[in-house]
Amino acid sequence: MTRKSSSTTIHDVARYAGVSVATVSRYMNHRDLVSQSVGDRISQVILEMNYIPRVAARQLATTETRAAGLVITDVMNDFFAPLINGVASVFSENNYNLLVAVSRPEMRENKIPSPIGPRNTDGMLVFANSLSEEQIIDLCKIRFPIVLLYRTAPPNLKISHVIIENKTATQKMVDHLIEEHGRKRIMFFQGPKDQEDSCWRELGYRASLAAHGLAIDNALILPGEFDHKVAYQALRDYLSKGSRDFDAIFTGNDDAAVGVLTALGEAGIRVPKDVSVVGFDDFRLAPFLNPPLTTVRAPTEKAGRVAAELLSKLFKGEPVEQEIRLSTEIILRRSCGCHSQLSNN
């Protein structure tokens, strides 16, 4: 049934899907007005026929905006400064403007369209869970150039993506706490449940405990959301119950570490004498926290550069790798109990 997109019309899609043209139109513009079964049938026909809506096809064929997009989940978190800087540097070198948009969970839940896309950019970078899988699939249907950052492609879609090594680094960090500092009751702060980085870091934490014969206590796994306010409140709530049955904390990321260190300080718990604290990312303030933070250094700016380079290649019609995984390294500072400021590769 596959036909060339240039010859396929909305009437063809309607006929093969066994619905009216009006139903296909509603599906394309107001998906919530079409039942799940009918929508799935229309979606399958669109994919098989390689149908590109006429307006989108005309835009993609004739319009060059000289702008690239980046969709992220936050602008206040310090994590995004080096990421955006890496992206912007590449697009500037290629004479492209950069449009940045923030997509929050409530926007995705309410199916609010992304403010950037085919109508105002030539392609876009999608960070982690800033767009839903459904939105990504829709962009693929119209052959819109995208590159994913900090997430892998949905099943059966060949989309270039840039990710970092999470599990091995986290496992090594927890190994360090156990083997070098004798820690056995290690608290773990989860990141957002729909972000792959969070899932892989928890797997690394669990793998280390299992390898050392230490039981996993779910009471020591708290929500951190990669956010200092959330982590601060979660630890305060835990401590308010009168329990101090932990001797180390993996904070999930460095932003959460700020909240954790604050809560520990308020409770009179000394770091690292009473509790070792470690993070992930090595954001710019990590060496200046009190005490300086032991963490996993992630190449955040490089990830932005690499992703932007991939998208730039797509603009030029050049071949690109489907997956690029960037390495990370452990940085030892005083918060875990070490005195070295050097990396432990």
Cβ count near 242 (within 10 Å): 7
Structure tokens at 42: 């229309």
Kindly write down the DSSP assignment for every residue of 122-152, as one continuous string.
S-EEEETTSS-HHHHHHHHHTT--EEEESSP
175 lies in the same domain as 256: yes
Distance, in Å, from the CA atom of 153 to the CA atom of 159, rounded to the nearest integer, reads 6
pLDDT at 272: 98
172 lies in the same domain as 267: yes
Q: Is residue 5 part of a domain?
A: no
Structure tokens at 4: 């060339």
106 lies in the same domain as 181: no
Is the link from the previous residue into 319 a cis peptide, with omega within 30 of 0? no
Domain that holds residue 112: 64-164+300-327
The contacts of residue 24 (CB under 8 Å, 6+ apart) are 10, 13, 14, 17, 42
Q: Is residue 239 part of a domain?
A: yes
Question: How does the average pLDDT of the chain come out, rounded?
Answer: 90
Tell me if 136 sits within 8 A of 154, measured CB to CB. Answer: yes
pLDDT at 166: 98
262 lies in the same domain as 205: yes
pLDDT at 35: 82
pLDDT at 33: 65
Q: CA distances (Å), 243 to each of 2, 29, 236, 238, in order?
A: 63, 53, 11, 7
pLDDT at 270: 97
Backbone angles phi, psi at 89, to 5 degrees: -65, -40
Distance, in Å, from the CA atom of 216 to the CA atom of 276, rounded to the nearest integer, reads 18
Q: Residue 42: in which H helix or E strand, if any?
A: helix 36-49
Averaged in consecutive runs of 10 residues, what is the pLDDT profile of the chain (345 residues)? Answer: 59 87 74 74 80 55 80 91 97 96 78 83 95 91 94 93 98 98 98 96 98 97 97 98 95 98 98 98 96 98 98 94 97 90 42
Cβ count near 273 (within 10 Å): 8
Q: Is residue 57 part of a domain?
A: no
Distance, in Å, from the CA atom of 196 to the CA atom of 205, rounded to the nearest integer, reads 14
176 lies in the same domain as 282: yes
- What is the value of pTM for the model shown? 0.80
pLDDT at 30: 60
231 lies in the same domain as 337: yes
115 lies in the same domain as 199: no
pLDDT at 208: 98
Question: Into how many domains does the chain fold?
Answer: 3
Q: Is residue 56 part of a domain?
A: no
Residue of 124, 187, 93 whose CA lies nearest to 314: 124
